[in-house]
Amino acid sequence: MVKRNLHLAKLQSGYLFPEITKRKKAFLEKNPSAELISLGIGDTTQPIPSLIANSMAITAEALATPDGYSGYGPEQGHFNLRQAISEQVYQGKRPADDIFVSDGSKCDIGRLQILFGGQASIAVQDPSYPAYVDTGVIMGQTSTYHPLSKQYSGITYMPCTPENSFFPSLEKLPRTDLIFFCSPNNPTGAAATYEQLSQLVDFAKQNGSVLIFDAAYACFIRNPNTPRSIYEIEGAEEVAIELGSFSKMTGFTGVRLAWSVVPKELRFEDGHLVQNDWNRINSTFFNGASNIAQSGGLAALRPEGLKAIKELTTFYMENATMLKEMFEALGYIVYGGVDTPYIWVHFPNQSSWEAFEMLLEKSHIISTPGSGFGPAGEGFLRFSAFANRANIIEAISRLRRALHKLDRV
């Protein structure tokens, strides 16, 4: 018999969201008439703006004609879309040939792990998006899981807590080859400042590290003084790869379209261009994003599409404000909800899973346990504002009833 991949065997009981799904199923088996509202997974709920959907429909219909049919596209993405990303997202500061279009940032995270290999050491924010750690474990960048600390040996965790303003104490960190950093952050909602990102870029330069900057939620930033891209920091092109996504800003979670930026200035220790190897990885593992999805991405980056994106992201941020204000009125310590539609709420007298189960039982609300994002997330719940307005209003009503009598001291 074929032996199991030992690295996969190192993964813990399950990826966070399948575990939530399992508990949801068990609850519904006992309470079949319950009307659950999910504020858990960060999945969009609002329709794709019509002008973007229409562009994809036209492309899809054209595939049924001799003149409109197209097969494989370039693995790097259609150049007109790469050029539009360059101009609209980066104001021309990152050239189109530095940009690689893909089928999703999560896929890119996995392919980046392949690019750098199992020998690369990694650092991740704590708490952070689980895919950074899990893909590293699968690649063999760790040896052992320690249940007491809830950490893997071989991976450096960078605590990002209210005590350090959700930015790691860089002076306490060892050198690693890769540094995964998400801003605005999922799950805490914290967005790093220019000063903080400048420190991070300097730290990467001093240590010869590559910074993998996840900017999937940059479209929600409302503060004009908050950087949307790592390339707003001087010299970042020498040390940083950036990931961007259409998922949340256009409702493309099911359509699948994203991009990565790998500057030509970024080199390996031997002087070889990282971009060349990234191009090879994409050409080997990937046949290019859907032609239909790319037509939608191009429409999204035209003036009318950008206006529609602003309206869509504003809607979700209004949801976030409503949730945030409700929790604060009840006396909870709340973070996020300013530059991302995630609310990070502290439940000081319960573990994350205890708080999750309590709200599931008392209010029929699904949240996301903070401990699933890392040890520093213990005692927190993440609430997603990616919901329709009626569900947000109903969820607020239920949560008020369930929580107003609880002790938060």
Distance CA 30, CA 312 (A): 37
Q: Does 186 belong to an annotated binding site?
A: yes
Q: What share of the chain is helix, strand, coil (3-state, %, to 5)?
A: 45, 15, 40
Show the DSSP H helices in 91-171 as ranges.
105-116, 130-138
Q: Quick check: 201 and 211 in contact, CB under 8 A? A: yes
Distance CA 143, CA 129 (A): 20
- Chain position carrying tokens 């007491």: 148
Q: Does 164 belong to an annotated binding site?
A: no
Q: Is 264 helix (H, G, I), strand (E, B) or coil?
A: coil
Q: What tokens appear for 63 in the block?
A: 């595939």
Q: Does 15 belong to an annotated binding site?
A: yes
Q: What tokens appear for 42 in the block?
A: 């960060």
Q: Does 382 belong to an annotated binding site?
A: yes
Q: Does 327 belong to an annotated binding site?
A: no
Residue closest to 239 by CA, chosen among 256, 259, 222, 261: 261
Q: Does 245 belong to an annotated binding site?
A: yes
Q: Does 229 belong to an annotated binding site?
A: no
Residue closest to 245 by CA, chosen among 182, 178, 194: 182
Q: Does 260 belong to an annotated binding site?
A: no
Residues in Cβ contact with 404 at an 8 Å cutoff, skipping those fewer than 6 apart: 330
Q: Quick check: 324 and 395 in contact, CB under 8 A? A: no
Q: Does 401 belong to an annotated binding site?
A: no
Name the DSSP class of 228. Answer: S
Q: Does 93 belong to an annotated binding site?
A: no
Name the DSSP class of 3. Answer: P
Q: Does 256 belong to an annotated binding site?
A: yes
Q: Does 217 belong to an annotated binding site?
A: yes
Binding site members: 15, 42, 72, 105-106, 129, 186, 217, 245-247, 256, 287, 382
Binding site members for pyridoxal 5'-phosphate: 72, 105-106, 129, 186, 217, 245-247, 256, 287
Binding site members for substrate: 15, 42, 106, 129, 186, 287, 382
